[in-house]
Amino acid sequence: MQKSGIDNLFHSAHERLLAVTRQYYLLQVLHAVMKVIFLGLALLLLFVLLALVFDPAPVVRGGFWVLLTVVAIYFLARHILPDLRRAFRPNEGELYAISKQIGRHNLEVQDALINFLQIYRDQGTPAHSAFKNLSLKQLYEKFRATHFSNILSPAILKHTAGRLLTAFTVLLLLLLIFPASVSQAMLKVVYPTRSFEDPLPLTLKNLSGEMTALKNASVELRGAYEGVAPQKLWLVVQSQSPTADSIQTERLELNVLSGKNFVYPIHHVKTSFTYWFEGSIEHSSFRNRLAVSERGRVLVKDRPFIRELQVKLTFPPYTGLSEVLLPPNNGEITALAGTAVGVEVLANKSLAQAWIRFRDSSKVELTVQENRAQGQFAVTRDDQYQIQIQDRDGIVNYQPVQYSVFALSDEHPFVEIAKPGEDLDLGDELEVPLLINLRDDFGFSKLLLKGHHIRAGSKGDTVSFSQALPYQKIDQNRAISDYRWDISGFFLIPEDYIEYYAEVYDNDVITGPKFARSKTFVLRLPSMMEILQNAEERAGEQLENTEDVAQQTRELKEKLEEINREMKREDELSWERKQQIQEQMEKQQQSMDRLKDVQQQLEELVKDLDAQDMLSPETLEKYFELQKMFQEMASEELQEAMKKLQDALEKTDMDEVKQAMEQFQLSMEEFEQRIERTYELFKRVEMEQKMDQLAKMAEKLAEEQSE
């Protein structure tokens, strides 16, 4: 029963202590709130004054709310929230602290309240319960009549309330004295982001807005204005730097036209950018203020392009040429017709399709795999082509490179009959040696010998022939045919002839084998009368040549005698005399050359007549003797005399020239005698030749009559 009374005493004291604790800390909260209000008013006054004097930017005006927020957070965290917690949920230590304050304010209480609390909770020195209860009653009696609320002093609010009142008074006075300006300034501080300027009489509109463009294409940025005409207009372009680490801004002034619309073209756009229009007006009230349009953006998409091109040429098999890879990114093609051209491209992005477009708008589709494409076409003619690619957005490559195709034709082969290489009159031989040269750029498929056998000199009875000839390759492009042609199968009779030529075919299987023909030659079997007539004409011609040389020699001898006579009266060799002597020497050399030519023609004539069995042994022997005389015509003595005379003329020594001239004259006399003898023998031999030919003709007639 005694214990229950002590508990009631403790409950009564504890409730009174909680009540005064709540009141105490709520008073502290009120004090903190008043400080926050005061600081808020002070900040408001400060920023109002700044707005009145300097008209700061919205960022500066926003500092009011930043500072006010910092102050509010500080007081909330440091004072208001902790004191509210202490007011409604005080801990034991905080109750003891309030108990001490009550003791300090009431001398009769002193430590009685705190001791009462501690003893009740068995804190301090342990004691017998009877003594404990007695002590608790005595301590309770000390503070039972005490008013705990004595510790609550509203005076702590007085100083803060005074400062708060002062701040309100100052603000009120400012509003009364400068109502419009202060009100405007307060609004600027309270609403820092709101514009309180007079609206510009100019409005700019961005008409083009959001756009998508291809790289290297052109775009037109369009705008318009409403209201007064702007004094100046600008286009502001903002884009990332090439290194993507900063923003680049470019301000371009536009021309102000009479109309309300304006446009600015940008050619060859490279990167995406943001843009807007700005304008200024001339009125002083709006100086340093710009009308700004809405922002637009141009999104630039990359076109697909070919990073690498590789072309491979596969030549026709018959050429024997190996495949060729052109240098990277080289699409110029010079190749033989029929060459397969393999094309492979590497693009900068994934592709949807790719194709090769030719000059006539025909195209070859390429196989696409990711960012690669490949395909092939054949070279058939000179042409031009472009490689076009399309990405998955349907964008094609910009201005594709135009390449040329030069189709090389397989050259026609070449053939010539080098031997005999001329028309021939046949004798008794039945084989004709042929030497045929062949030439082509890639080889041959066959060589034919073709022609016609024309009988009895009339083309009315003609037989064509063709036969394959063997040939041997010298190298890739050349061959030779060394062949002995047996003509016995033609059964030729006099006045028959054969027209023949060689025909060669190359191995071009693309455009068809091409062929070439040699020059046409004739093999002829002449009649007896033609042989004899030809021999007579040839012999007569050479006889005339010999007679001409003999006549020239006589004239030259007379001229030399005349020069010798004149030189005996001369002491020095004049230029005219020297030229005269050299002229005579040249004439003599020409005569000797003509005799050499006569000798060669005579040898051929004898050879042909002997082959036709037209000469008797006696006549043939005389022809050999005549040839020997021609060979000995230009004697060593004559040649030596001409050399000495030439040396003397070069030295211009008159004595040596005279001596050499005398020796040359003697040699010429001997030469004249020899040519006279040769000429006489030539006439006799020609006569005997004619007799032999008449005998041969008579024999031939007799044979024909007997048949």
Q: Output the domain CATH number for residue 215.
A: 2.60.40.10
Instruction: Tell me: do 533 and 522 sit in the same domain.
Output: no
Q: Which residues contact 73 (CB under 8 A, 6 or more apart)?
A: none
Enumerate the β-bridge partners of residue 132. Answer: none
Instruction: Tell me: do 160 and 137 sit in the same domain.
Output: yes
Instruction: Tell me: do 538 and 678 sit in the same domain.
Output: yes
- Could you give the number of structural domains in the chain? 5
Q: Is 7 helix (H, G, I), strand (E, B) or coil?
A: helix
Domain boundary among 131, 159, 190: 190
pLDDT given at position 385? 93
**Domain containing 493 — which CATH number?**
2.60.40
Instruction: Tell me: do 155 and 20 sit in the same domain.
Output: yes
Centre a 10 Å sphere on the Cβ of residue 595 and count the other Cβ atoms it contains.
Answer: 24
In a domain, 196, yes or no: no
Q: What is the pLDDT of residues 96-137, one digit of tens each?
A: 777 777 767 666 666 666 777 776 776 544 554 666 677 667
Tally of residues, the chain: 707
Among candidate residues 242, 286, 293, 288, the one with its CA nearest the CA of residue 264: 293
Instruction: Tell me: do 571 and 694 sit in the same domain.
Output: yes
Q: Which two tokens stand for residue 405?
A: 């195709």
In a domain, 195, yes or no: no
Q: Which residues contact 314 (CB under 8 A, 6 or more apart)?
A: 323, 339, 340, 341, 342
pLDDT given at position 583? 80
User: For residues 40 and 69, what is the distance between their CA atoms, to the nearest angstrom?
Assistant: 9
pLDDT given at position 608? 66
Domain boundary among 385, 408, 431: 408
Instruction: Tell me: do 574 and 632 sit in the same domain.
Output: yes
Instruction: Tell me: do 472 and 399 sit in the same domain.
Output: no
Instruction: Tell me: do 68 and 124 sit in the same domain.
Output: yes
Range of the domain at 474: 414-526
Do 221 and 264 meet the contact criterion of CB atoms below 8 Å apart? Answer: yes
Enumerate the β-bridge partners of residue 486. Answer: 431
Centre a 10 Å sphere on the Cβ of residue 45 and count the other Cβ atoms it contains.
Answer: 17
Instruction: Tell me: do 150 and 16 sit in the same domain.
Output: yes
Q: Which residues contact 692 (CB under 8 A, 6 or more apart)?
A: 614, 615, 616, 619
Instruction: Tell me: do 588 and 652 sit in the same domain.
Output: yes
In a domain, 433, yes or no: yes
pLDDT given at position 590? 79
DSSP assignment of 521-582 equals EEEE---HHHHHHHHHHHHHHHHHHHHHHHHHHHHHHHHHHHHHHHHTT-SS--HHHHHHHH
In a domain, 476, yes or no: yes
In a domain, 637, yes or no: yes
Instruction: Tell me: do 28 and 171 sit in the same domain.
Output: yes
Domain boundary among 190, 211, 241: 190
In a domain, 197, yes or no: no
In a domain, 147, yes or no: yes
Amino acid at 273: F
Given a cut of 50, the residues of the chain with pLDDT beneath it are 1-3, 124-125, 128
Instruction: Tell me: do 89 and 31 sit in the same domain.
Output: yes
